[in-house]
Amino acid sequence: MAAPTLESRPAAATAPAGGAPDGLVDVTAGGRPRRGPWSRVPRRVRRLTGPVVLLLAWAVASELGLLNRDLFPPPLAVAARTWELVVSGELQTHVGASLARVVVGTVIGVLVGGALAVVAGLTRTGEDLLDSTMQILKAVPNFALLPLLIIWMGIGEEPKIVLIVLGVGIAIYINTYGGIRNVDAQLVEVAQTLGVSRWQLVTQVVLPGAAPGFLVGLRLGLSSAWLSLIFAETINTTQGIGYLMSRAQTMLQFDVSVLIILIYAVAGLLSYALVRHLEHRLLAWRAGFTGVAA
């Protein structure tokens, strides 16, 4: 049977004049589908759309009288109160004290949790000795330990830092340990077949494979750090945004209470941006699904 000639091929397979066949992208005309107006906006700007919409909805609801101004002050009233606290220097003092506690507790928590995860993830003996204890600590709410920490360590900075370390360290341990144990066993076998040393196996195969789990733990750990700070700064302290919130609730300063909520929201957003930056830097080798372009 003779092979079909060019003339005998279906007409639908030929490109029409001025474009590609139906359903195909004309690679000679650029090779990319047209981008809509939304996709032309920078991603960083688009990510702020949600918070901006919430602020606008808050302002509109306040102007329309849908929100009680005495119980839920409008944005302008909160901004005016913020300026007063900034001018007096009170806001910087409390935010600086809280930020210092979070930074110290987070750094220690990452180091301790990461080290324990590596020991438990790489060795069965480490898993037998550590994993059960860490799972128990995971099940115990951190704020339930605060009274005991105060009794054991006093009312200084130590119990506050330890509470943050526990929150961050447990999140780092759980996710990093899971990331190590979820490394593809075939990659480990291939590396061993190629004759790599144990150190090379750990640093070039296992730990890079566990990096996504570590970053997930860091994201959860930063959230846990700010949450732990709320409980730590409401007891036996005179500085910190947790103390400022507790005082505002006692004195019925609703504008200050809303301001503190906004500060926690901004802190969470900045923490999320930090982890995303680390993901772009540390996981550049991984080609993951990034969503469908709208």
How do residues 48-103 score in pLDDT, each as one tens digit?
788 888 888 888 888 888 888 778 888 888 898 889 899 988 889 999 999 999 99
- Residue 4 DSSP one-character state: P
CA dist list (Å): 122 to 130, 176, 199, 290? 12, 11, 11, 31
Identify the CA nearest to 177 among candidates 227, 134, 231: 134
Could you tell me the pTM of the whole model? 0.77
**Which residues, 6+ apart, have CB-to-CB distance to 157 below 8 Å?**
101
Cα(45)–Cα(54) distance, integer angstroms: 15
Cβ atoms 165, 145 nearer than 8 A: no
pLDDT for 283 equals 78
Instruction: For the chain, give every domain's residue range.
Output: 75-282
How do residues 275-290 score in pLDDT, each as one tens digit?
888 888 877 777 665 6
Cβ atoms 75, 293 nearer than 8 A: no
Cβ atoms 223, 234 nearer than 8 A: no
How do residues 119-152 score in pLDDT, each as one tens digit?
999 889 988 899 888 988 888 887 788 788 888 8
Identify the CA nearest to 119 among candidates 184, 186, 202, 195: 202
Superfamily of domain 75-282: MetI-like (1.10.3720.10)
Q: Indicate if the pLDDT at residue 117 is higher than 90.
A: yes
Q: What is the mean pLDDT of residues 157-185?
A: 90
Least confident of 22-36, 133-147, 154-168: 22-36
**Residue 57: both structure tokens together:** 């909805």
